[in-house]
């Protein structure tokens, strides 16, 4: 299949960024991108984490497919797994537009969407419509902005979607829902994790299968926060951590005119800081908690750096805006070569070798 993105990119980037994204989702729903990256993966890329098997460790990060509409298309692009959401119990519009900005000269994105999504009813229907034979995917759940009990919203998401996804992500790190990231503080996180895991225990007791639950954290955490989160991850029964969401920091290196827009920054400038946090979390959890490394990955070298810093799996989003779906195949090819050149026979052998 020919990669049409280099031809389409000037047209896509002439559109307002949110319109371009919506057009991309429509095209993917129609199957227009075909089978770009689904040639079988080299066996060195096959891996396992939290009880699931992946053909390769490169996943689509949350936020691209907020309403679980293009999971199959993500697998066809060559992703080893896809994460849909963030979904909130009730549909919500999110923040006023414009709320998505391309920082092209920085290979970065700023977004302040604020969990715009069609809600659990729609999301659940989409998951029920998936073919029986399909790739690995996760459901990323969140809380409505106007919710009185945000913890209850996460529990609702997990209860409603239980058994329909391969794993869950509890997203407590979006900078665009005021107060949400306070759920990362010790007492709040203990209570949230406690209630979420209780919901799973009840499902398993009623005969359902065990579904892994991950927590997604911000890159803007202090050492003490990392210590607390690591302690909870080690003691609670959480299956893994995703490191990280977008940052509220604005590195001095940014040159694009929209660098001062409010929201979360992602893409190339997030690679180094999010990898530092990943390494710190790997060390604080003594390599005992599976980690998903995300933030700024745009090449095989970046993916490999995350793995060596402690990631069992990786995810990306922003680089797709600049490089298109063909990037997934390039990353996998380069990662394969790097693993083999360093004498690793599997991804898992390389995890944490730099930490």
Ligand X SMILES: Cc1cc2nc3c(=O)[nH]c(=O)nc-3n(C[C@H](O)[C@H](O)[C@H](O)COP(=O)(O)O)c2cc1C
Binding site for ligand X (CB under 6 A): 61-63, 66, 85-86, 100, 109, 111, 113, 140, 171, 174, 216, 245-246, 266-267, 270, 294-297, 316-319
3-class DSSP assignment, residue 104: helix
Q: What angle do CA 139, 145, 146 make, to 5 degrees?
A: 130
Closest CA to 311 of 290, 280, 295: 290
What is the crossing angle of helices 119-128 and 150-161, to 10°? 20
Return the number of the residue (22 or 235) whose C-beta is nearest ligand X: 22
C-beta of 36 vs 271, nearer to ligand X:
271
100 strand-pairing partners: 111
Q: Please check whether residue 329 is in contact with residue 256, taking contact to mean a CB–CB distance below 8 angstroms.
A: no
Closer to ligand X by Cβ: residue 140 or 336: 140
The least CB distance from residue 298 to ligand X, in Å, is 8
Query: Min. distance of Cβ 269 from ligand X in angstroms?
Result: 9
Compute the least distance from the CB of residue 86 to ligand X, in Å.
Answer: 4
Least distance CB 61 / ligand X (angstroms): 3
> How buried is residue 161: exposed, middle or buried, by Cβ count under 10 Å (0-12/13-18/19+)?
buried
Which residue number, 143 or 199, has a Cβ lying nearer to ligand X? Answer: 143
According to DSSP, residue 43 is labeled G
174 is catalytic: yes
Cβ atoms of 59 and 328 closer than 8 Å: no
> Residue with CB nearest ligand X?
63
Q: Which is nearer to ligand X, 316 or 344 (CB)?
A: 316
The catalytic position among 147, 174, 274, 312 is: 174
∠ CA 217-223-229, nearest 5°, is: 40
| Angle at the Cα of 80 from the Cα atoms of 6 and 144, rounded to 5 degrees | 90
What is the nearest approach in angstroms of ligand X to the Cβ of residue 216?
5
**Cα–Cα distance measured from residue 347 to residue 275, given in angstroms and rounded to the nearest whole number:** 17
Nearest to 167 by CA among 192, 129, 196: 196
Write the DSSP assignment of 164-194 as a string of letters: TSSEEEEE---TTSTTGGGGGSHHHHHHHHH
Closest contact distance (angstroms) between CB of 261 and ligand X is 12
Q: Residue 206 CB, nearest distance to ligand X (Å)? A: 28
CA distance 155 to 202: 12
Nearer to ligand X, 20 or 36 (CB): 20
The nearer residue to ligand X, 109 or 313, going by C-beta atoms, is: 109
The sign of the dihedral angle between the CA atoms of 250, 321, 346, 301 is negative
Residue 19 CA, chain-centre distance (Å), reads: 22
Active-site annotation, residues: 174
């Amino acid at each position: 299949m020919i990669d049409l993105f280099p031809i389409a990119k000037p047209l896509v980037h002439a559109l307002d960024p949110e319109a371009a994204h919506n057009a991309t989702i429509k095209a993917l729903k129609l199957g227009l991108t075909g089978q770009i990256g689904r040639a079988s993966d080299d066996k060195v890329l096959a891996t396992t984490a939290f009880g699931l098997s992946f053909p390769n460790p490169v996943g689509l990060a949350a936020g691209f497919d907020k309403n679980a509409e293009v999971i199959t298309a993500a697998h066809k692009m060559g992703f080893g797994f896809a994460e849909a959401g963030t979904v909130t119990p009730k549909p919500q519009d999110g923040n006023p537009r414009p709320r998505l900005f391309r920082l092209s000269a920085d290979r970065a994105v700023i977004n302040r969407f604020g969990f715009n999504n069609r809600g659990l009813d729609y999301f659940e229907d989409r998951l029920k419509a998936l073919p029986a034979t399909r790739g690995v995917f996760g459901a990323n759940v969140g809380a409505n902005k106007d919710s009185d009990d945000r913890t209850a919203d996460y529990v609702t998401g997990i209860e409603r979607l239980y058994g329909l996804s391969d794993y869950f992500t509890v997203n407590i790190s979006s900078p665009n829902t005021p107060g949400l990231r306070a759920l990362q503080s010790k007492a709040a996180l203990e209570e949230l994790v406690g209630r979420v895991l209780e919901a799973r225990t009840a499902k398993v007791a009623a005969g359902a299968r065990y579904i892994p639950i991950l927590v997604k954290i911000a890159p803007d955490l202090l050492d003490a926060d990392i210590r607390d989160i690591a302690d909870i991850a080690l003691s609670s029964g959480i299956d893994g951590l995703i490191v990280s969401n977008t940052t509220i920091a604005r590195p001095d290196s940014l040159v694009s005119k929209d660098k001062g827009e409010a929201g979360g920054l992602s893409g190339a400038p997030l690679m180094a800081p999010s990898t530092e946090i990943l390494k710190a979390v790997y060390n604080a959890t003594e390599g005992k908690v599976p980690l998903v490394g995300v933030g700024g990955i745009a090449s095989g070298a970046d993916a490999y750096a995350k793995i060596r810093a402690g990631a069992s799996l990786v995810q990306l989003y922003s680089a797709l805006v600049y490089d298109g779906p063909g990037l997934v195949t390039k990353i996998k090819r380069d990662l394969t070569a790097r693993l083999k050149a360093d004498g690793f026979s599997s991804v898992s052998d390389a995890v944490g070798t730099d930490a």
